[in-house]
C-alpha cells in the first residue's frame, strides 16, 4: 500500500522552460502533440507556456487547456496584473487550471525592477491575491530562491501563502545549490513558515553543475511533494531536471526513497524521442534512461553477463521505459557468446567450427569498423557458407 503523503506530483515544464532553450522552439501542432503525450503518461501538472509572451504561446496554452484529459494545465505570469489576467484567459478553459506567478527575490534579481524588500513584498501580496481571485489553484515562485537571504525568503513565502498560493515553488534558477542544501532549505521552510502544512512545496532545479536530479530528489527528502522537470532535461543553458531521471530513480531506488509518482514509465522512450525530434535537441548517446546507449552493451564481459542474467549489468528493465529489449552492440569488445546469440536472432545456428571462423573474421572487421551491423554479420555468414 502506498501512502498518499509519499506521492510526488510531477510538474512538466517542457513546453515553457524547455521551450525557452535557444533554438528549441516548437510549432503549435507539435506543442499540442507533446501536451497530449504528457497528459497520457500521467503528468500531474503541465506548464503549457507563457501566455503573455506571444500570440502563439497564448493560443497554444488555450488549446492545450481545452484538450487536456487529466492533467492540471498551468500558465506562467510575471508579477503584474496584466500578465496574470492574460494567463487566466488562456488556462481558464481547462478542467483544472492553474496560474503560476513569480518574481526574482534574490538581491541580484530585486535590483532589476529596483524594488526594495518592502516594495517587493507588497507586490507579491497584491499579485498573488489577484491570481487567487481568478483561480483557486495558484502557484507562486520566488525566482533565484537559493540565492535569496533566508529571512527574506521566509517573509515572502509567508506572504504568498497568506495571499492564497496553494503551491510554493522553490527555484534553483541558476543551478547553484547542492543536494544537502536543497533538502535543508525545503525542510527549513516547512518547519518555520506559518501555514506551510496547508500547501505543497515544489522544487525547480536547473542543471548548471549537473546536480539538478540529485537536488530535486534531495528536496523531496526535505519535504517537497512536487518536482518540476522537463523531458530529456530540455531547458535553458544546461537544462532543467530531467523528468525521466527523477521518475526512474524513485521507481528503482524505492527501497531508500519511499516516494512514488503517477507516471506510466513505459511511455518515457516515445515521448523522449518525440521531444528530441520536435525541439531539434538530440539526446546525447550516454544520457541516463533515454540515451541510445543507456541499455546497450558492447564489452564481451558485459554481453556474456547480460546473456546469462540481465540483472548483472542492468538495474532496470528496458521494457520499464518503453524499450522492447536491451541492445547488444556488436563491436571489437564483443565475445563469442554475444556473437552466437546475435547470429541465432538473425536465424543462423552455426556449429562450433563455423562460429569460430565467423568470429575471427568478425573481429577483423570490428577492428576496422566502430559498430558491426546485422547486415555485416549476415554477409560474414554468407561468405562462410559459400566458401565452406
- Which stretches of the chain bind ligand KIV, using CB under 6 A? 17, 102, 141, 143, 169, 171, 173, 204, 206
Q: Choose among Zn ion, ligand KIV, none what residue 223 binds, the Cβ cut-off being 5 to 8 Å by kind.
A: none
Q: Choose among ligand KIV, Zn ion, none what residue 141 binds, the Cβ cut-off being 5 to 8 Å by kind.
A: ligand KIV
Q: Choose among ligand KIV, Zn ion, none what residue 160 binds, the Cβ cut-off being 5 to 8 Å by kind.
A: none
Task: Determine if 17 is a binding residue for Zn ion (CB under 5 A).
Answer: yes
Compute the distance between CA of residue 290 and CA of residue 270 in angstroms, rounded to an integer.
Answer: 10
Compute the distance between CA of residue 222 and CA of residue 201 in angstroms, rounded to an integer.
Answer: 10
Write down the least CB distance from residue 13 to Zn ion, Å: 7
* Span of 15-23, 101-109, 319-327, 345-353 interacting with Zn ion by CB under 5 A: 15-23
Task: Determine if 144 is a binding residue for Zn ion (CB under 5 A).
Answer: no
**323 to 104, 114, 269, 273, 311: CA distances (angstroms):** 41, 51, 7, 12, 16
Q: Choose among ligand KIV, Zn ion, none what residue 102 binds, the Cβ cut-off being 5 to 8 Å by kind.
A: ligand KIV
Compute the distance between CA of residue 48 and CA of residue 32 in angstroms, rounded to an integer.
Answer: 9
**Cβ proximity to ligand KIV, 186 vs 350, nearer residue:** 186
**Cβ proximity to Zn ion, 17 vs 39, nearer residue:** 17
Write down the least CB distance from residue 195 to ligand KIV, Å: 21
DSSP state of 240: B
Which residue, among 22, 15, 122, 136, has the nearest Cα to 76 in the 3D structure? 15
Strands 72-78 and 9-12: unpaired
The helix, strand and coil proportions of the chain, stated in percent and rounded to the nearest 5, come to 50, 15, 35
Write down the least CB distance from residue 12 to ligand KIV, Å: 13
Dihedral sign computed on CA atoms, order 258, 261, 265, 271: negative
Write down the least CB distance from residue 173 to ligand KIV, Å: 4
Task: Determine if 12 is a binding residue for Zn ion (CB under 5 A).
Answer: no
Write down the least CB distance from residue 135 to ligand KIV, Å: 17
* Span of 10-18, 102-110, 247-255, 303-311 interacting with Zn ion by CB under 5 A: 10-18
Compute the distance between CA of residue 68 and CA of residue 228 in angstroms, rounded to an integer.
Answer: 19
Compute the distance between CA of residue 139 and CA of residue 137 in angstroms, rounded to an integer.
Answer: 7
Compute the distance between CA of residue 22 and CA of residue 14 in angstroms, rounded to an integer.
Answer: 13
Q: Rule CB under 5 A: which residues touch Zn ion?
A: 17
Amino acid at each position: 500500500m502506498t501512502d498518499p503523503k509519499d506521492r510526488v506530483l510531477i510538474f512538466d515544464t517542457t513546453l515553457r522552460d524547455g521551450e525557452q532553450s535557444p533554438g528549441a522552439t516548437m510549432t503549435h501542432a507539435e506543442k499540442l502533440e507533446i501536451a497530449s503525450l504528457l497528459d497520457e503518461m500521467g503528468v500531474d501538472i503541465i506548464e503549457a507556456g507563457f501566455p503573455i509572451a506571444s500570440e502563439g504561446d497564448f493560443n497554444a496554452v488555450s488549446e492545450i487547456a481545452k484538450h487536456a484529459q487529466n492533467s492540471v494545465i498551468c500558465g506562467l505570469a510575471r508579477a503584474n496584473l496584466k500578465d496574470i489576467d492574460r494567463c487566466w484567459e488562456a488556462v481558464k478553459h481547462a478542467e483544472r487550471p492553474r496560474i503560476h506567478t513569480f518574481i526574482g527575490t534574490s538581491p541580484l534579481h530585486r535590483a532589476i525592477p529596483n524594488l526594495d524588500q518592502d516594495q517587493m513584498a507588497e507586490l507579491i501580496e497584491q499579485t498573488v491575491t489577484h491570481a487567487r481571485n481568478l483561480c483557486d489553484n495558484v502557484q507562486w515562485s520566488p525566482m533565484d530562491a537559493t540565492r535569496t537571504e533566508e529571512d527574506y525568503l521566509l517573509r515572502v513565502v509567508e506572504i504568498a501563502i497568506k495571499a492564497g498560493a496553494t503551491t510554493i515553488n522553490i527555484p534553483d534558477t541558476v543551478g547553484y545549490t547542492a543536494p544537502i542544501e536543497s533538502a535543508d532549505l525545503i525542510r527549513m521552510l516547512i518547519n518555520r513558515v506559518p501555514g506551510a502544512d496547508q500547501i505543497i512545496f515544489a522544487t525547480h532545479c536547473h542543471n548548471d553543475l549537473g546536480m539538478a536530479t540529485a537536488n530535486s530528489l534531495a528536496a523531496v527528502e526535505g519535504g517537497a511533494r512536487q518536482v518540476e522537470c522537463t523531458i530529456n532535461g530540455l531547458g535553458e543553458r544546461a537544462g532543467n531536471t530531467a523528468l525521466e531521471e527523477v521518475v526512474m530513480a524513485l521507481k528503482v531506488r524505492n527501497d531508500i526513497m519511499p516516494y512514488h509518482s503517477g507516471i506510466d514509465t513505459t511511455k518515457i522512450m516515445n515521448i523522449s524521442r518525440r521531444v528530441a525530434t520536435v525541439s531539434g535537441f538530440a539526446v546525447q548517446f550516454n544520457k541516463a534512461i533515454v540515451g541510445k546507449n543507456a541499455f546497450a552493451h558492447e564489452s564481451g564481459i558485459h554481453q556474456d553477463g547480460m546473456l546469462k542474467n540481465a540483472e548483472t549489468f542492468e538495474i532496470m528493465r528496458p521494457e520499464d521505459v518503453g524499450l522492447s529489449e536491451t541492445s547488444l552492440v556488436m563491436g571489437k569488445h564483443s565475445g563469442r557468446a554475444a556473437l552466437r546469440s546475435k547470429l541465432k536472432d538473425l536465424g543462423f545456428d552455426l556449429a562450433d567450427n563455423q562460429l569460430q571462423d565467423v568470429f575471427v573474421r568478425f573481429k577483423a572487421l570490428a577492428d576496422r569498423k566502430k559498430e558491426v551491423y546485422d547486415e555485416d554479420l549476415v554477409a560474414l555468414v554468407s561468405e562462410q557458407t559459400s566458401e565452406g
